[in-house]
Amino acid sequence: MTHIVKADPLHLQAYQLIKQLILEKEFEPGERVVELRLAKKLGISRGPVREALRMLIQDGLLESDNTVYKPSRTDIIDVFKCREILEILGVELAIQVMSDEQIAVTTDIIKETFKQGNVYKLAQLDQNFHDSIIECTKNKQLIQLMGLIKTKVMYMRSAISHEAVYPPFMEQHVHIVNALQAREVEKACEEMRNHIQCGLYHILDNVGE
């Protein structure tokens, strides 16, 4: 979606569009997002834009003064520590209930990833891969908790790092899926831990103190 249409509530459309702009580096970390300019850019009134900005503040992508979130190294480490624990729990729960068809979905995502060259879409496919595993758990609390941090993770990976997608991640997905197919719980958890830690180290290598 790249423009406003009339079918959906305007504030939700504005939210998705502004979030995409932030993730695609249209705004720099620390830059103030101006409500009036966005309203003119999107061709809508300021009310829906204001509500969209409130939603982005709740997501953690904007600060209370509408400046784009600029995480410190400590923020990044803290988020990824939480992500690691939740993702490992997701694999542990999912491997017990995932059907062969559901595992095949993750394989299809990997195949699509290898065909994709657009950095933003690669990051989205990476997130789709992780979502597909978490959703299989059917654990509403886990899904909700992951939802609270995944937008920040996408932002840290795509907007903070100089390279939005790091080369090893596609191969790491393959290792995770192989463990899922073999129903090897410990192996799947270990591969997921390595994957999340690799993402953390890559981002930390590309940010200042």
63 alpha carbon, distance to own chain's centre: 18
pLDDT tops 70 at residue 209: no
d(CA 91, CA 134): 7
**pLDDT at position 157:** 80
pTM: 0.83
Confidence of residue 123 (pLDDT cuts 50, 70, 90): confident
Per-residue pLDDT for 73 more than 80? Answer: yes
For residue 158, the model assigns a pLDDT of 72
**Closest by CA position to 56, among listed 40, 32, 82, 80:** 32
Residue 137 has pLDDT above 90, yes or no: yes
CA 142 to chain centre: 15
